[in-house]
Amino acid sequence: MLEWKPEILRRLAPLKLSPAREGEIAEEIAQHLEDRYHELLVTGQSEDAAFRTAIDELKGEDLLARSLLAVENDLYREPVALGKGSSNLFAGILQDIHYAFRMMRKSPGFTAVAVLTLALGIGANTAIFSLINAIILRSLPVKDPQHLVLFQWESDKWPPHFSMTGWKSRFSFSYEEFREFSAQKNVMSSVFALAPLGFNDQDTTVGINGEPTLADGVMVTGQYFSGLGVTPLLGRGITDADEKPGAPRAVVISYAYWTRRFARDPSIIGESVTLNGIPFTIVGVTPRDFYGISVGTEPDLWVAFDDKPNMRPWSKPPGGTDSVFTERDWLCLNIMGRLKDGVTREQAQGALDAVFHQFVTADWHPPKESDIPHFILAPGGQGLPVVQDYTAQPIYLLMVAVGLLLLIACANVATLLLARANSRKKEISVRLAIGASRSRLIRQLLTESALMSALGGLLGLVFANWGTQALIALISRANNGTMILDAGTDSRVLFFTFLVAMLVGVLLGLAPALRASKADLLSAMKDNASAVSDPRNKHRLGESLIVAQVAASVVLMIGAGLFVRTLTNFESHNFGFDQRNLLTFGLAPTRAGYHDARLVNLYTQLLDRIQALPGVRAATLIENAPFSGWSSKNSSVSVEGSAQNPSNSEMYWQGVGPDFFSTMGIPIVLGRGIQRTDTAASPKVAVVDEIFTKKYFPAENPIGHRFSLSSKYDPANSYEIVGVVRPAELTDVNPGVHPKGYASYAQFPKTLGQMFFEVRAEGPPATIVSELRNAVHQTDASLPLIGLKTQAEETSEALSFQRLFARLTTIFGLLALLLAMIGLYGMIAYAVTRKTHEIGIRMALGAKPTNILGMVLRQGITLTLIGVAFGVVATLGATRLISSMIFGVSPYDPLTFVAVAAILSIVALLACYIPARRAMKVDPMVALRYE
568 and 553: one domain? yes
The highest-confidence range among 256-260, 711-715, 846-850, by mean pLDDT, is 256-260
- Give the pLDDT band (50/70/90) at residue 478: low
The highest-confidence range among 431-435, 483-487, 669-673, 745-749, by mean pLDDT, is 669-673
570 and 421: one domain? no
Q: Which of the pair, 419 or 585, is modelled with greater confidence?
A: 585
Q: Which of 375-379, 719-723, 879-883 has the lowest mean pLDDT?
A: 879-883
Q: With 80 as the cut, is the pLDDT of residue 200 above it?
A: no
Percent residues over pLDDT 90 in the chain: 34
Contact 406, 507 (CB under 8 A): no
Mean of pLDDT values over 457-481: 82
- 580 in a domain, yes or no? no
- 732 in a domain, yes or no? yes
Determine the pLDDT at residue 62.
56
CA angle 640, 642, 647 (to 5 degrees): 115
Rounded Cα gap, residues 275 and 784, in angstroms: 13
Q: With 60 as the cut, is the pLDDT of residue 379 above it?
A: yes
Choose the final residue of a domain: 74, 99, 127.
74
Nearest residue to 844 via CA among 749, 923, 734? 923
Determine the pLDDT at residue 685.
96
Q: Which of 6-20, 61-75, 539-553 has the lowest mean pLDDT?
A: 61-75
Q: Residue 256 contacts by C-beta under 8 Å, 6 or more apart in sequence?
A: 298, 300, 484
Determine the pLDDT at residue 701.
93
Choose the final residue of a domain: 74, 109, 124.
74
Structure letter (DSSP) for residue 135: I
- 376 in a domain, yes or no? no
Determine the pLDDT at residue 884.
79
- Give the pLDDT band (50/70/90) at residue 68: low
551 and 607: one domain? no
The highest-confidence range among 149-158, 181-190, 751-760, by mean pLDDT, is 181-190
Mean of pLDDT values over 133-157: 88
Q: With 90 as the cut, is the pLDDT of residue 473 above it?
A: no
540 and 624: one domain? no
CA neighbours closer than 13 Å in the CB half-sphere of residue 592: 18
Q: With 70 as the cut, is the pLDDT of residue 300 above it?
A: yes
Using DSSP's 3-state secondary structure scheme, residue 269 falls into coil
- 219 in a domain, yes or no? yes
Rounded Cα gap, residues 578 and 665, in angstroms: 5
Mean of pLDDT values over 150-166: 62
Determine the pLDDT at residue 469.
85
Contact 65, 77 (CB under 8 A): no
Which uninterrupted H or E stretch holds 333? strand 333-339
- Give the pLDDT band (50/70/90) at residue 373: confident
Q: Which of the pair, 417 or 68, is modelled with greater confidence?
A: 417
Q: Each residue of 231-246: pLDDT tens digit?
A: 999 999 999 999 888 8
Contact 285, 237 (CB under 8 A): no
Q: With 90 as the cut, is the pLDDT of residue 338 above it?
A: yes
Nearest residue to 720 via CA among 690, 678, 691, 748? 678
Determine the pLDDT at residue 348.
94
Percent residues over pLDDT 70 in the chain: 82
244 and 262: one domain? yes
Q: Each residue of 317-333: pLDDT tens digit?
A: 555 556 777 777 777 88
- Give the pLDDT band (50/70/90) at residue 561: very high
| Cα dihedral 869/875/876/878 (nearest 10) | 150
- 382 in a domain, yes or no? no
Determine the pLDDT at residue 916.
80
Q: With 90 as the cut, is the pLDDT of residue 688 above it?
A: yes
Determine the pLDDT at residue 187.
93
417 and 563: one domain? no
In three state form, how does the secondary structure of 125-181 look?
Answer: HHHHHHHHHHHHHCCCCCCCHHHEEEEEEECCCCCCCHHHCCCCHHHEECHHHHHHH
Mean of pLDDT values over 763-780: 91
Nearest residue to 725 via CA among 660, 668, 653, 663? 668
535 and 511: one domain? no
Mean of pLDDT values over 345-368: 82
- Give the pLDDT band (50/70/90) at residue 858: confident
16 and 103: one domain? no
Cβ neighbours, 10 Å, residue 633: 13
Q: With 70 as the cut, is the pLDDT of residue 60 above it?
A: no
Rounded Cα gap, residues 297 and 485, in angstroms: 8
- Give the pLDDT band (50/70/90) at residue 431: low
Determine the pLDDT at residue 604.
94
| DSSP strands (E only) in 506-571 | none
Which uninterrupted H or E stretch holds 797? helix 791-798
Q: Which of the pair, 26 or 469, is modelled with greater confidence?
A: 469
Cβ neighbours, 10 Å, residue 607: 19
- Give the pLDDT band (50/70/90) at residue 167: very low
- 787 in a domain, yes or no? no
Determine the pLDDT at residue 161.
43
134 and 209: one domain? no
Q: Which of 450-464, 555-569, 580-594 has the lowest mean pLDDT?
A: 580-594
Q: Which of the pair, 360 or 378, is modelled with greater confidence?
A: 378
The highest-confidence range among 155-164, 165-174, 736-745, 922-931, by mean pLDDT, is 736-745
Q: With 80 as the cut, is the pLDDT of residue 495 above it?
A: yes
Burial (CB < 10 A; 0-12, 13-18, 19+), residue 492, is: middle
Partnered with residue 208 across adjacent β-strands are 211
Taken as a whole, the chain contains a residue count of 931
Choose the final residue of a domain: 782, 810, 837.
782
Q: Each residue of 630-640: pLDDT tens digit?
A: 666 666 788 88
- 373 in a domain, yes or no? no
225 and 246: one domain? yes
Determine the pLDDT at residue 530.
46
Determine the pLDDT at residue 76.
43
Q: Which of 76-85, 391-400, 458-467, 717-726 has the lowest mean pLDDT?
A: 76-85
725 and 711: one domain? yes
Q: Which of the pair, 339 or 3, is modelled with greater confidence?
A: 339
- 771 in a domain, yes or no? yes
Determine the pLDDT at residue 829.
78
Q: Which of 68-72, 81-85, 188-192 has the lowest mean pLDDT?
A: 81-85
The distance between the two most distant Cα atoms of the chain, rounded to a whole number of Å, is 118
Look up the pTM and report it.
Answer: 0.76
Mean pLDDT of the chain: 82
Domain count for the chain, please give it. 5
Rounded Cα gap, residues 559 and 881, in angstroms: 11
Nearest residue to 424 via CA among 764, 101, 107? 107
Query: Residue 31 sits in which domain range?
Result: 5-74
Q: With 50 as the cut, is the pLDDT of residue 26 above it?
A: yes
DSSP 627-665: TSS--EEES--EETT-SSPPSS--EEEEEE-TTHHHHHT
Q: With 90 as the cut, is the pLDDT of residue 802 above it?
A: no
Determine the pLDDT at residue 168.
44
* Distances in whole angstroms, Cα of residue 398 to Cα of each of 374, 798, 899: 34, 21, 22
Rounded Cα gap, residues 186 and 608, in angstroms: 61
Q: Each residue of 746-758: pLDDT tens digit?
A: 998 877 778 899 9
235 and 271: one domain? yes
